[in-house]
Amino acid sequence: MSAWAFSSLTLAGRSAWARRGPLSLLVAAIAVSVAMVLAVMQLREDARDSFSNAISGVDLIAGSRTSPSNLLLYAVFHLGQPVRSMSYGHVDAIVKLPSVAWAVPLQLGDHFRGFPVVGTTPMFFSKVGGPSGLGFSSGGPFAKLFDVVIGAEVAAKSGLSVGSSITLTHGANDSLAEDHSDTPFSVTGVLRRTGSPIDRSVLISLAGFEAMHIGWEFGSKPKQSASAIPSDPLRLEPSQVTAVLVGLESRTQIFSARRAIESLGAGTLMAILPGVTLDELWQAFGVIEVTLSVIGWLVLASALLGICATLLLSIASRRKEFAVLRALGLSPAGITRLILLESLWISLAGIVIGWIMLQIMIAMLGPWAAQEFGIFLQLRPLDSRGWLALGAVLGLTLLASLLPALRAMRYSLHDGLHPPTA
């Protein structure tokens, strides 16, 4: 940067700092609008990543007939309304289909300190989460009846580790729900963080899920003890499951496999393409995203109008300042440049403060978003869309300052030709 440009920036910065009181409100307005615009972009990207990570490697999701979005949200993201269970016999039939490479059943319904309990098979850890499956930060998969694997978020919030003993709670997350105190589980593994709802899951075997509910047929705690649990694992095979995650031999068979699965239930089963269903959800959420973006840009527009109005009102009171600058050798074009650079400083301050506000919001609201919606907000650098948005903020700020800058140049020319009398 040349000495001339540096001196111009320094002069504009000192001039803006001298009027920091009224200008601070404009900086705050720009900061709020920048934080809102960037937050919408951040939420969109983090939500997409969280949802995509959760269904990575899964070609189809089978379950009882309901809306595709409800099956996806409940079975994978543990949100929305519970779906009806499907017969476990259908799981065996799905596995036997020639186009199916693997099938992982899921059983939902219980919780642990607000985290969903998922009954599944050891295949879950090798098939879900991409080609390499799920990694463990400590321990390994469950092997015994009352073994449990916990996600990274569960471990961080509860302080549990391998070897800890935990008691699960019957039914949905309810303060009145009773605990399965007669069947405590032992933690055998802690999963690495995935940035998906798996981080918030408590994973047990289907046999363990079934054993835990012996005697709970009427929804209340049984009088019998855990000694009534049969020792033969075959007798603990579930009669029903919530949903089945399906991987295919070839993705070219996805539509034929879908028809084959739906034909097994005589109209009671459905199979959804998780990627397609996820796109449909994004289309539904698109209206909300656009609305929030529009609100953010409207806030920015009001801030820019405020900059224009404030600078216009201050021009007349700064005529003596401009006259002194002219006397010191600053040209009329230099006066225009001074006003534009002052606006640039205001915009840059608003952008920096807005970005800091966003980071604070992510740090504060991240755990809540993960707990309530399964969306893992991450501190990440700006992407190309973010930089374009900030560039647009700078450009619009300079555009809003153009009229006051031209007015200041006109005053400067007039006072240069007709100096005001004392």
Q: What is the per-residue pLDDT across 382-394, written as a single tens digit (0 to 9) for each? A: 878 888 888 888 8
- State the pLDDT at residue 107: 92
Is 90 exceeded by the pLDDT of residue 190?
A: yes
Question: Which residue in this structure is represented by tokens 């698109």?
Answer: 286
Is 50 exceeded by the pLDDT of residue 417?
A: no
Lowest mean pLDDT among 47-51, 351-355, 396-400: 47-51
Question: Which residue in this structure is represented by tokens 């007349």?
Answer: 316
- State the pLDDT at residue 22: 66
Lowest mean pLDDT among 105-119, 137-151, 152-166, 368-382: 368-382
84-94 confidence digits (pLDDT tens)? 888 888 888 99
Is 70 exceeded by the pLDDT of residue 80?
A: yes
275-288 confidence digits (pLDDT tens)? 888 878 777 666 77
- State the pLDDT at residue 204: 92
What mean pLDDT value characterizes the chain? Answer: 78
- Calculate mean pLDDT across residues 318-339: 67
Q: Which of 38-42, 204-208, 335-339 has the highest mean pLDDT?
A: 204-208
Confidence of residue 372 (pLDDT cuts 50, 70, 90): low
101-136 confidence digits (pLDDT tens)? 999 999 998 888 888 999 999 999 888 876 667 889
Q: Percent of the chain, pLDDT > 70?
A: 75
Q: Which of 127-131, 224-228, 345-349 has the highest mean pLDDT?
A: 345-349
- State the pLDDT at residue 383: 79
Handedness of CA 153, 185, 132, 372 (dihedral sign): negative
Q: Are 115 and 200 in contact (CB under 8 A)?
A: yes
Is 60 exceeded by the pLDDT of residue 67?
A: yes
Pairing of strands 115-120, 136-139: unpaired
Q: From CA 206, how far away is CA 220, in angstroms rounded?
A: 20
- Calculate mean pLDDT across residues 32-54: 77
Q: Which of residues 296 and 169 earns the better pLDDT score?
A: 169
Confidence of residue 369 (pLDDT cuts 50, 70, 90): confident
Q: From CA 389, how far away is CA 41, in angstroms rounded?
A: 10
Q: From CA 263, how far away is CA 134, in angstroms rounded?
A: 32
Q: Which of residues 346 and 248 earns the better pLDDT score?
A: 248
Q: What is the DSSP string of 249-314?
A: S-GGGHHHHHHHHHHHTTTSEEEE-HHHHHHHHHHHHHHHHHHHHHHHHHHHHHHHHHHHHHHHHH
Q: How is residue 400 written in tokens?
A: 């809003």
- State the pLDDT at residue 227: 47
Q: Which of residues 380 and 60 earns the better pLDDT score?
A: 60
- State the pLDDT at residue 202: 92
- State the pLDDT at residue 29: 79
Is 60 exceeded by the pLDDT of residue 163?
A: yes
- State the pLDDT at residue 223: 61
Q: Percent of the chain, pLDDT > 90?
A: 11
- Calculate mean pLDDT across residues 287-311: 75
